[in-house]
Amino acid sequence: MPHAVTSDDVRLYFEEAGSGTPIIFLHEYAADHTNWEPQMRYFSRGHRCIAYSARGYTPSDVPPSPETYTYRHFYTDAIAVLDHLGIAKAHFIGLSMGSYSSLHVGLNAPERALSMTLAAVGSGSAIENLDAFRKQCRANAEQYETTGSAEVAKATREAPSRIPFLLKDPRGHADFYNALSRHDAKGSANTMRGFQGGRPSIYTLTEAIRKVATPALIICGDEDDACIEPSLFLKKHLPASGLAMFPKSGHVLNLEEPALFNEMVERFLALVEAGRWPVRDARSMGG
């Protein structure tokens, strides 16, 4: 099995397909590397595609301590995968947790990102609800440890932002949650405590975000309520960003609407590679 090794000796399992300009895919909390398969198959026709499982998600290592699951670990892990493969720059395509990590690459290592696709980004960011969100993350972590991944998957499969996926594609929805039920419970608990419950709200990063000139495509489902305001916030403050809103769509955009997702991202990458995705022209800004 191919693995990259991080600076703190965590082995990250990855898969590759295709050749050309590199793309690295960063998965969401409830997913792993396998959930990018529709994109790996599609984009590998013209790009070198890499998908990996984050720390805590087998067959990657599951470190025992929650202190090794901070948001810093997650975005630097993506860079470690690129370093292992000798890749200087790549397009970053993330969903949810993976979008947050991709954004932090843009904030902290912009020289490594050709572009950022930030799909379903920003849940849990609302400042007024931040303490409650973090408390819920701690409770969710305890739930993983006491009842296991299979029981948590049963409880979360009908979360509001997941219902559009269920309604459109019951078979795909069932496959997704069957996979979630097999996740390592300790890894999921540690990720929930360290990353989900410990990351800074994007609303506290406004000044840094305004300095990121990396081309960015923000994608949001219009029924993913927790991500709509954060997506609008990022569109307002990321200088070279565009926003796509998918109608009648929830959180798992790449699986819920794979053809639309692939089409939108493919167009974005083509414009970036042609040098035609610039920072917003000041003349287009209203008073």
Residue 105 has pLDDT above 70, yes or no: yes
Average pLDDT over residues 16-42: 98
The angle at the Cα of 236, spanning 193 to 284, to the nearest 5 degrees, equals: 165
Question: What are the distances in angstroms from CA 253 to CA 91, 217, 236, 262?
Answer: 18, 14, 22, 10
| 120 token code pair | 């379903």
Region 9-28 average pLDDT: 98
The whole-chain average pLDDT of the chain stands at 97
pLDDT 10s digits, 108-130? 999 999 999 999 999 999 999 99
Residue-range domains of the chain with CATH: 3-284 (3.40.50.1820)
Q: What is the pLDDT of residues 150-196, one digit of tens each?
A: 999 998 898 999 999 999 999 999 999 999 999 999 999 999 999 99
Instruction: Give the model's confidence band at 287: pLDDT under 50 very low, under 70 low, under 90 confident, else very high.
Output: low
Q: How far apart are CA 147 and CA 181, in angstroms?
A: 11
Helices (H) and strands (E) in the chain, counts: 12, 8
- pLDDT bin (cut points 50, 70, 90) of residue 2 is very high
How many whole angstroms separate alpha carbon 229 and alpha carbon 159? 19
The rounded distance, in Å, linking the Cα atoms of 114 and 117 is 10
Q: Does pTM surpass 0.85?
A: yes
The whole-number average pLDDT for the span 66-86 is 98
CA atoms within 13 A on the CB side of 110: 13
